[in-house]
Protein backbone atom coordinates (compact mmCIF):
# COMPACT_ATOMS: atom_id res chain seq x y z
CA UNK A 1 0.00 0.00 0.00
CA UNK A 2 1.25 3.45 -0.89
CA UNK A 3 0.46 6.68 0.90
CA UNK A 4 0.26 10.17 -0.57
CA UNK A 5 0.60 13.53 1.11
CA UNK A 6 -2.59 15.54 1.47
CA UNK A 7 -0.59 18.59 0.39
CA UNK A 8 -0.04 16.73 -2.92
CA UNK A 9 3.55 17.92 -3.30
CA UNK A 10 5.63 14.99 -2.13
CA UNK A 11 6.43 11.51 -3.46
CA UNK A 12 4.22 8.56 -2.55
CA UNK A 13 5.71 6.29 0.11
CA UNK A 14 5.24 2.79 1.51
CA UNK A 15 3.65 2.06 4.91
CA UNK A 16 7.12 1.69 6.45
CA UNK A 17 8.35 5.00 5.10
CA UNK A 18 5.16 6.82 6.08
CA UNK A 19 5.51 5.51 9.65
CA UNK A 20 9.16 6.45 9.89
CA UNK A 21 8.64 9.91 8.37
CA UNK A 22 5.44 10.70 10.30
CA UNK A 23 4.82 13.79 8.15
CA UNK A 24 5.47 14.15 4.40
CA UNK A 25 8.29 16.50 3.27
CA UNK A 26 5.69 19.01 1.99
CA UNK A 27 4.26 19.16 5.57
CA UNK A 28 1.15 17.23 4.50
CA UNK A 29 -0.17 14.25 6.40
CA UNK A 30 -0.26 10.86 4.72
CA UNK A 31 -3.36 9.17 3.36
CA UNK A 32 -3.75 5.66 1.86
CA UNK A 33 -3.88 5.45 -1.91
CA UNK A 34 -6.65 2.81 -1.89
CA UNK A 35 -9.34 1.78 0.56
CA UNK A 36 -10.82 -1.58 -0.44
CA UNK A 37 -14.04 -2.54 1.37
CA UNK A 38 -13.96 -5.83 3.28
CA UNK A 39 -16.19 -8.63 2.04
CA UNK A 40 -19.91 -8.41 2.82
CA UNK A 41 -19.65 -11.94 4.15
CA UNK A 42 -17.06 -10.88 6.73
CA UNK A 43 -19.17 -7.92 7.90
CA UNK A 44 -22.32 -10.05 8.00
CA UNK A 45 -20.62 -12.77 10.08
CA UNK A 46 -18.49 -10.48 12.22
CA UNK A 47 -19.71 -12.13 15.44
CA UNK A 48 -17.82 -15.30 14.44
CA UNK A 49 -14.47 -13.50 14.60
CA UNK A 50 -12.31 -12.60 17.61
CA UNK A 51 -11.16 -9.01 18.20
CA UNK A 52 -7.71 -9.98 16.98
CA UNK A 53 -9.04 -11.50 13.77
CA UNK A 54 -11.23 -8.46 13.12
CA UNK A 55 -8.32 -6.09 13.69
CA UNK A 56 -6.14 -8.09 11.31
CA UNK A 57 -8.80 -8.03 8.58
CA UNK A 58 -9.33 -4.31 9.03
CA UNK A 59 -5.69 -3.23 8.93
CA UNK A 60 -3.78 -5.71 6.79
CA UNK A 61 -4.41 -3.97 3.44
CA UNK A 62 -2.87 -0.76 4.82
CA UNK A 63 0.37 -2.52 5.74
CA UNK A 64 0.79 -4.78 2.74
CA UNK A 65 4.07 -6.67 2.72
CA UNK A 66 5.96 -4.23 4.93
CA UNK A 67 5.33 -6.43 7.96
CA UNK A 68 4.96 -10.22 7.55
CA UNK A 69 1.45 -11.43 8.36
CA UNK A 70 2.63 -13.62 11.26
CA UNK A 71 4.41 -10.65 12.89
CA UNK A 72 1.41 -8.38 12.25
CA UNK A 73 -0.79 -10.90 14.07
CA UNK A 74 1.62 -10.88 17.04
CA UNK A 75 1.64 -7.06 17.09
CA UNK A 76 -2.16 -7.01 17.11
CA UNK A 77 -2.38 -9.64 19.86
CA UNK A 78 0.01 -7.67 22.09
CA UNK A 79 -1.79 -4.42 21.32
CA UNK A 80 -5.29 -5.62 22.17
CA UNK A 81 -4.77 -7.26 25.54
CA UNK A 82 -7.70 -5.53 27.28
CA UNK A 83 -11.48 -5.09 27.00
CA UNK A 84 -13.67 -2.69 24.99
CA UNK A 85 -17.10 -3.11 26.62
CA UNK A 86 -20.34 -1.34 25.70
CA UNK A 87 -22.26 -0.24 28.79
CA UNK A 88 -26.00 0.43 28.33
CA UNK A 89 -27.02 3.92 29.49
CA UNK A 90 -30.54 4.53 28.20
CA UNK A 91 -32.91 2.49 26.09
CA UNK A 92 -31.33 3.63 22.83
CA UNK A 93 -27.92 4.81 24.07
CA UNK A 94 -24.80 2.98 25.20
CA UNK A 95 -21.19 3.93 25.82
CA UNK A 96 -18.17 2.21 24.36
CA UNK A 97 -15.52 2.26 27.08
CA UNK A 98 -12.07 2.72 25.64
CA UNK A 99 -10.16 3.24 28.87
CA UNK A 100 -9.28 -0.29 29.95
CA UNK A 101 -5.69 -0.11 28.71
CA UNK A 102 -2.57 0.71 30.77
CA UNK A 103 -2.91 4.53 30.72
CA UNK A 104 -6.71 4.57 30.88
CA UNK A 105 -7.43 6.48 27.67
CA UNK A 106 -8.21 5.35 24.12
CA UNK A 107 -4.73 6.27 22.92
CA UNK A 108 -3.24 3.06 24.29
CA UNK A 109 -4.22 1.00 21.24
CA UNK A 110 -2.60 3.30 18.67
CA UNK A 111 0.48 3.92 20.81
CA UNK A 112 1.09 0.22 21.45
CA UNK A 113 0.53 -0.69 17.81
CA UNK A 114 2.84 2.03 16.52
CA UNK A 115 5.58 1.24 19.07
CA UNK A 116 5.64 -2.36 17.89
CA UNK A 117 5.66 -1.44 14.19
CA UNK A 118 8.58 0.93 14.76
CA UNK A 119 10.35 -1.71 16.88
CA UNK A 120 9.98 -4.12 13.94
CA UNK A 121 11.28 -1.60 11.39
CA UNK A 122 14.25 -0.80 13.65
CA UNK A 123 15.10 -4.40 14.43
CA UNK A 124 18.45 -4.48 12.60
CA UNK A 125 19.34 -0.81 12.73
CA UNK A 126 21.97 0.84 14.92
CA UNK A 127 20.69 4.38 14.34
CA UNK A 128 18.08 5.56 16.83
CA UNK A 129 14.81 7.33 16.01
CA UNK A 130 13.37 10.22 18.01
CA UNK A 131 9.60 10.11 18.38
CA UNK A 132 8.27 13.63 18.83
CA UNK A 133 4.78 13.95 20.20
CA UNK A 134 2.51 16.86 21.13
CA UNK A 135 -0.11 16.18 23.75
CA UNK A 136 -3.10 17.92 25.24
CA UNK A 137 -3.20 15.24 27.91
CA UNK A 138 -3.61 11.60 26.94
CA UNK A 139 -1.44 10.92 23.90
CA UNK A 140 1.69 11.77 25.91
CA UNK A 141 1.02 9.21 28.66
CA UNK A 142 0.01 6.49 26.20
CA UNK A 143 3.06 7.06 24.02
CA UNK A 144 5.37 7.17 27.07
CA UNK A 145 3.94 3.87 28.28
CA UNK A 146 3.84 2.24 24.84
CA UNK A 147 7.41 3.19 23.88
CA UNK A 148 9.07 2.77 27.29
CA UNK A 149 12.28 0.80 26.82
CA UNK A 150 11.73 0.23 23.06
CA UNK A 151 15.19 -0.35 21.54
CA UNK A 152 16.51 2.47 19.36
CA UNK A 153 13.69 4.88 20.16
CA UNK A 154 13.90 8.13 22.15
CA UNK A 155 10.59 9.80 22.94
CA UNK A 156 10.23 13.57 23.40
CA UNK A 157 6.79 14.72 24.60
CA UNK A 158 5.68 18.36 24.36
CA UNK A 159 2.79 19.36 26.60
CA UNK A 160 1.17 22.73 27.39
CA UNK A 161 2.16 23.93 30.84
CA UNK A 162 -0.73 24.03 33.33
CA UNK A 163 -3.23 22.68 30.79
CA UNK A 164 -3.19 18.94 31.45
CA UNK A 165 -4.63 17.18 34.48
CA UNK A 166 -2.41 16.15 37.41
CA UNK A 167 -2.76 12.44 36.58
CA UNK A 168 -1.98 13.06 32.91
CA UNK A 169 1.10 15.11 33.84
CA UNK A 170 2.40 12.36 36.13
CA UNK A 171 1.88 9.77 33.40
CA UNK A 172 4.05 11.62 30.95
CA UNK A 173 6.75 13.09 33.22
CA UNK A 174 7.67 10.30 35.61
CA UNK A 175 8.78 7.31 33.55
CA UNK A 176 12.39 8.32 32.78
CA UNK A 177 14.56 5.96 30.66
CA UNK A 178 14.03 6.83 26.96
CA UNK A 179 11.14 9.24 27.69
CA UNK A 180 11.69 13.01 28.09
CA UNK A 181 8.96 15.58 28.74
CA UNK A 182 9.15 19.20 27.56
CA UNK A 183 6.75 21.55 29.32
CA UNK A 184 5.78 24.27 26.87
CA UNK A 185 4.72 27.80 27.69
CA UNK A 186 1.74 27.72 25.32
CA UNK A 187 -1.32 25.74 24.24
CA UNK A 188 -1.58 22.34 22.54
CA UNK A 189 -1.63 23.89 19.06
CA UNK A 190 1.74 25.54 19.78
CA UNK A 191 3.16 22.12 20.72
CA UNK A 192 1.75 20.52 17.56
CA UNK A 193 3.10 23.35 15.40
CA UNK A 194 6.59 23.02 16.92
CA UNK A 195 6.59 19.29 16.25
CA UNK A 196 5.63 19.82 12.60
CA UNK A 197 8.29 22.54 12.21
CA UNK A 198 10.99 20.28 13.66
CA UNK A 199 10.29 17.58 11.06
CA UNK A 200 11.25 19.90 8.25
CA UNK A 201 14.20 21.59 9.95
CA UNK A 202 17.25 20.41 8.02
CA UNK A 203 19.62 21.53 10.78
CA UNK A 204 18.27 18.88 13.16
CA UNK A 205 20.28 15.79 12.37
CA UNK A 206 18.24 13.27 14.36
CA UNK A 207 15.80 10.95 12.55
CA UNK A 208 12.45 12.27 13.72
CA UNK A 209 8.99 10.77 13.56
CA UNK A 210 5.65 11.56 15.15
CA UNK A 211 3.45 9.49 17.46
CA UNK A 212 0.43 11.76 17.11
CA UNK A 213 -2.45 10.65 14.96
CA UNK A 214 -0.78 12.33 12.00
CA UNK A 215 1.29 9.13 11.97
CA UNK A 216 -0.68 6.45 10.14
CA UNK A 217 0.46 3.71 12.54
CA UNK A 218 -1.01 5.68 15.47
CA UNK A 219 -4.15 6.66 13.57
CA UNK A 220 -5.32 3.56 11.68
CA UNK A 221 -5.63 1.12 14.63
CA UNK A 222 -8.30 3.44 16.06
CA UNK A 223 -10.60 1.92 13.39
CA UNK A 224 -10.76 -1.22 15.52
CA UNK A 225 -13.07 0.36 18.13
CA UNK A 226 -15.86 0.83 15.62
CA UNK A 227 -15.59 -2.76 14.41
CA UNK A 228 -15.69 -4.03 18.01
CA UNK A 229 -18.78 -1.94 18.78
CA UNK A 230 -20.45 -3.17 15.60
CA UNK A 231 -19.65 -6.76 16.56
CA UNK A 232 -21.17 -6.24 20.02
CA UNK A 233 -24.35 -4.67 18.59
CA UNK A 234 -24.67 -6.73 15.43
CA UNK A 235 -27.25 -9.21 16.68
CA UNK A 236 -29.52 -6.37 17.90
CA UNK A 237 -30.10 -5.34 14.30
CA UNK A 238 -30.02 -1.61 14.96
CA UNK A 239 -28.65 1.22 12.85
CA UNK A 240 -25.69 2.75 14.66
CA UNK A 241 -24.88 6.40 15.26
CA UNK A 242 -21.50 7.15 16.85
CA UNK A 243 -20.81 10.28 18.85
CA UNK A 244 -17.07 10.75 19.20
CA UNK A 245 -15.63 13.32 21.61
CA UNK A 246 -13.24 15.10 19.27
CA UNK A 247 -10.16 17.30 19.49
CA UNK A 248 -7.58 16.47 16.84
CA UNK A 249 -10.30 14.47 14.98
CA UNK A 250 -8.14 11.36 14.53
CA UNK A 251 -10.53 9.00 16.29
CA UNK A 252 -13.66 10.00 14.41
CA UNK A 253 -11.70 9.98 11.17
CA UNK A 254 -10.66 6.38 11.93
CA UNK A 255 -14.39 5.62 12.39
CA UNK A 256 -15.09 6.99 8.94
CA UNK A 257 -12.33 4.74 7.58
CA UNK A 258 -14.13 1.79 9.21
CA UNK A 259 -17.30 2.89 7.44
CA UNK A 260 -15.41 3.04 4.14
CA UNK A 261 -14.28 -0.52 4.79
CA UNK A 262 -17.92 -1.53 4.82
CA UNK A 263 -19.24 -1.08 8.36
CA UNK A 264 -22.87 0.02 8.07
CA UNK A 265 -22.67 3.10 10.29
CA UNK A 266 -25.61 5.46 9.87
CA UNK A 267 -24.10 8.73 11.07
CA UNK A 268 -21.12 10.27 12.86
CA UNK A 269 -21.28 13.07 15.39
CA UNK A 270 -18.10 14.93 16.31
CA UNK A 271 -18.84 16.29 19.77
CA UNK A 272 -16.48 19.04 20.90
CA UNK A 273 -16.02 21.43 23.78
CA UNK A 274 -15.98 25.16 22.97
CA UNK A 275 -13.09 24.59 20.58
CA UNK A 276 -15.55 24.67 17.72
CA UNK A 277 -13.51 25.13 14.54
CA UNK A 278 -15.22 22.18 12.82
CA UNK A 279 -18.82 22.89 13.85
CA UNK A 280 -18.31 26.48 12.67
CA UNK A 281 -17.01 25.18 9.36
CA UNK A 282 -20.06 22.96 8.86
CA UNK A 283 -22.29 25.92 9.56
CA UNK A 284 -20.47 28.69 7.69
CA UNK A 285 -18.46 26.76 5.08
CA UNK A 286 -15.27 28.56 6.11
CA UNK A 287 -12.49 26.62 7.83
CA UNK A 288 -11.00 29.07 10.29
CA UNK A 289 -8.65 27.51 12.87
CA UNK A 290 -8.28 29.51 16.05
CA UNK A 291 -6.23 29.45 19.23
CA UNK A 292 -7.46 26.76 21.57
CA UNK A 293 -9.41 27.64 24.71
CA UNK A 294 -8.83 25.78 28.01
CA UNK A 295 -11.77 23.63 29.16
CA UNK A 296 -12.53 20.83 31.62
CA UNK A 297 -12.27 18.33 28.73
CA UNK A 298 -8.69 19.46 28.24
CA UNK A 299 -7.54 16.66 25.93
CA UNK A 300 -9.89 18.11 23.30
CA UNK A 301 -8.55 21.66 23.57
CA UNK A 302 -7.47 21.82 19.95
CA UNK A 303 -8.08 24.85 17.73
CA UNK A 304 -6.58 23.48 14.50
CA UNK A 305 -7.36 19.77 14.28
CA UNK A 306 -4.74 17.93 12.21
CA UNK A 307 -7.08 15.24 10.91
CA UNK A 308 -9.90 17.32 9.50
CA UNK A 309 -8.14 17.32 6.14
CA UNK A 310 -8.34 13.49 6.15
CA UNK A 311 -12.09 13.70 6.80
CA UNK A 312 -12.47 16.07 3.87
CA UNK A 313 -10.55 13.64 1.68
CA UNK A 314 -12.74 10.72 2.80
CA UNK A 315 -15.82 12.71 1.79
CA UNK A 316 -14.40 13.81 -1.58
CA UNK A 317 -13.68 17.32 -0.31
CA UNK A 318 -17.35 18.14 -0.67
CA UNK A 319 -19.08 20.03 2.11
CA UNK A 320 -22.55 18.74 1.18
CA UNK A 321 -21.33 15.12 1.39
CA UNK A 322 -19.64 15.80 4.72
CA UNK A 323 -22.86 17.27 6.13
CA UNK A 324 -24.90 14.30 4.93
CA UNK A 325 -22.84 11.78 6.90
CA UNK A 326 -21.34 13.85 9.68
CA UNK A 327 -22.48 16.45 12.22
CA UNK A 328 -20.50 18.42 14.76
CA UNK A 329 -21.81 20.14 17.89
CA UNK A 330 -19.95 22.17 20.47
CA UNK A 331 -20.73 22.28 24.22
CA UNK A 332 -19.68 24.51 27.09
CA UNK A 333 -18.15 23.33 30.38
CA UNK A 334 -21.42 24.15 32.15
CA UNK A 335 -23.35 21.88 29.77
CA UNK A 336 -20.71 19.18 30.19
CA UNK A 337 -21.09 19.24 33.98
CA UNK A 338 -24.87 19.01 33.71
CA UNK A 339 -24.44 15.98 31.44
CA UNK A 340 -22.05 14.34 33.92
CA UNK A 341 -24.61 14.86 36.71
CA UNK A 342 -27.47 13.57 34.59
CA UNK A 343 -25.53 10.44 33.57
CA UNK A 344 -24.86 9.73 37.22
CA UNK A 345 -28.34 10.55 38.52
CA UNK A 346 -30.21 8.63 35.81
CA UNK A 347 -27.87 5.74 34.97
CA UNK A 348 -25.41 5.72 37.92
CA UNK A 349 -22.72 6.12 35.27
CA UNK A 350 -19.60 8.11 36.14
CA UNK A 351 -18.46 9.73 32.91
CA UNK A 352 -15.30 11.74 32.46
CA UNK A 353 -15.79 15.21 30.91
CA UNK A 354 -14.83 13.98 27.39
CA UNK A 355 -17.31 11.11 27.47
CA UNK A 356 -19.96 13.51 28.76
CA UNK A 357 -19.38 15.74 25.71
CA UNK A 358 -19.90 12.63 23.56
CA UNK A 359 -23.17 11.90 25.37
CA UNK A 360 -24.33 15.48 24.73
CA UNK A 361 -23.62 14.94 21.03
CA UNK A 362 -26.17 12.13 20.96
CA UNK A 363 -28.73 14.10 22.98
CA UNK A 364 -28.48 16.89 20.41
CA UNK A 365 -29.25 14.54 17.53
CA UNK A 366 -32.53 12.92 16.54
CA UNK A 367 -31.72 9.21 16.77
CA UNK A 368 -35.20 8.12 15.65
CA UNK A 369 -34.97 4.32 15.85
CA UNK A 370 -31.16 4.13 15.67
CA UNK A 371 -28.92 3.14 18.58
CA UNK A 372 -26.48 5.83 19.71
CA UNK A 373 -23.03 4.97 21.01
CA UNK A 374 -20.86 7.61 22.61
CA UNK A 375 -17.20 6.84 23.14
CA UNK A 376 -15.97 7.05 26.73
CA UNK A 377 -12.42 7.95 25.80
CA UNK A 378 -10.79 8.20 29.23
CA UNK A 379 -11.32 6.93 32.76
CA UNK A 380 -12.88 9.56 35.05
CA UNK A 381 -9.97 9.24 37.49
CA UNK A 382 -7.81 11.13 35.01
CA UNK A 383 -9.91 14.21 35.77
CA UNK A 384 -10.40 13.57 39.47
CA UNK A 385 -11.01 17.11 40.84
CA UNK A 386 -13.56 17.93 38.11
CA UNK A 387 -15.40 14.63 38.41
CA UNK A 388 -15.47 14.63 42.23
CA UNK A 389 -16.60 18.23 42.53
CA UNK A 390 -19.24 17.88 39.81
CA UNK A 391 -20.75 14.71 41.27
CA UNK A 392 -20.10 15.64 44.93
CA UNK A 393 -18.68 12.20 45.57
CA UNK A 394 -15.31 10.50 45.89
CA UNK A 395 -14.19 8.02 43.27
CA UNK A 396 -11.83 5.10 43.81
CA UNK A 397 -8.29 5.52 42.50
CA UNK A 398 -7.11 2.46 40.56
CA UNK A 399 -3.82 0.86 41.59
CA UNK A 400 -1.94 1.86 38.42
CA UNK A 401 -2.73 5.54 39.08
CA UNK A 402 -1.89 5.34 42.79
CA UNK A 403 1.53 4.03 41.84
CA UNK A 404 2.50 7.11 39.81
CA UNK A 405 0.98 9.87 41.95
CA UNK A 406 3.88 9.97 44.43
CA UNK A 407 6.54 9.94 41.70
CA UNK A 408 8.56 13.06 41.00
CA UNK A 409 7.73 15.06 37.84
CA UNK A 410 10.73 15.58 35.56
CA UNK A 411 10.29 18.05 32.69
CA UNK A 412 12.37 20.67 30.85
CA UNK A 413 10.62 24.01 30.45
CA UNK A 414 10.71 25.61 26.98
CA UNK A 415 9.08 28.77 25.71
CA UNK A 416 9.39 28.52 21.93
CA UNK A 417 10.57 26.51 18.92
CA UNK A 418 14.20 27.52 19.54
CA UNK A 419 13.95 25.78 22.93
CA UNK A 420 12.85 22.56 21.24
CA UNK A 421 15.51 22.84 18.54
CA UNK A 422 18.26 23.43 21.11
CA UNK A 423 17.09 20.39 23.07
CA UNK A 424 17.04 18.20 19.95
CA UNK A 425 20.49 19.37 18.82
CA UNK A 426 22.24 18.93 22.14
Ligand X SMILES: Cc1ncc(COP(=O)(O)O)c(C=O)c1O
Ligand Y SMILES: N[C@@H](CCOP(=O)(O)O)C(=O)O
Q: State the catalytic residues.
A: 107
- 418, 10, 223, 372 alpha-carbon torsion, rounded to 10°: 80
Question: Shortest distance, CB of residue 32 to ligand X, whole angstroms?
Answer: 18
Of 209 and 248, which has the nearer Cβ to ligand Y? 248
Residue from 95, 248, 273, 386 that binds ligand Y (CB under 6 A)? 248
What letter would DSSP give residue 15?
A: H
Find out whether 275 and 301 touch, Cβ atoms under 8 Å.
yes
Using rule CB under 6 A, residue 275 touches ligand Y:
no
Q: Are strands 2-5 and 30-32 parallel, antiparallel or unpaired?
A: antiparallel
Instruction: Provide the mask over 199-228, with x wherever binding to ligand Y is found by CB under 6 A and - wherever it is not.
Output: -------------xx---------------
378 touches ligand X (CB under 6 A): yes
Q: Is 358 in the site for ligand Y (CB under 6 A)?
A: no
Does 245 help bind ligand Y (rule: CB under 6 A)? no
Q: Which stretch binds ligand X (CB under 6 A): 27-35, 247-255, 314-322, 394-402?
A: 247-255
- Taking Cα atoms as reference points, which of 249, 284, 267 lies closest to residue 29? 249
Work out whether 140 is an interface residue with ligand X (CB under 6 A): no
55 phi/psi in degrees, rounded to 5: -60, -40
| Binding positions for ligand X, 262-321, rule CB under 6 A | 299-300
CB atoms within 10 A of CB 422: 11
Query: Which residues pair with residue 326 across a beta bridge?
Result: 268
**Closest distance of CB 136 from ligand Y, Å:** 4
Full DSSP string of 174-235: S--TTEEEEEESS-HHHHHHHHHHHHT-TT--SEEEE-STTSHHHHGGGGHHHHHHHHHHGG
Q: What's the CA angle centered on 167, arms 275 and 279, to 5 degrees?
A: 10
**Partner whose footprint covers residue 303, from ligand X, ligand Y, none (CB < 5 to 8 Å by kind):** none
248 binds ligand X (CB under 6 A): yes
Binding partner at 273 among ligand Y, ligand X, none, C-beta below 5 to 8 Å by kind: none
105 part of the interface to ligand X, by CB under 6 A: yes
Residues that bind ligand Y (CB under 6 A): 135-140, 212-213, 247-248, 250, 299, 306
Amino acid sequence: MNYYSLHHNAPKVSFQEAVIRGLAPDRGIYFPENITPLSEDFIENISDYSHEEIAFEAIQQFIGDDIPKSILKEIIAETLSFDFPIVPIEENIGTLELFHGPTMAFKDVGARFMARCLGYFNRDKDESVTVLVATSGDTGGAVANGFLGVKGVDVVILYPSGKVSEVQEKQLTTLGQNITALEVDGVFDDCQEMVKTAFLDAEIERTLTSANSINIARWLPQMFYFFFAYKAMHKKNKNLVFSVPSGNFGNICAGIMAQKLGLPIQHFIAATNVNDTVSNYLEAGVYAPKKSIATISNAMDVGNPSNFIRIQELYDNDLATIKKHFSSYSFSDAETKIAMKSLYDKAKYIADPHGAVGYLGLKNYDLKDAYGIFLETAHPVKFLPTVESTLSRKIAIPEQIQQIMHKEKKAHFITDYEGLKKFLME
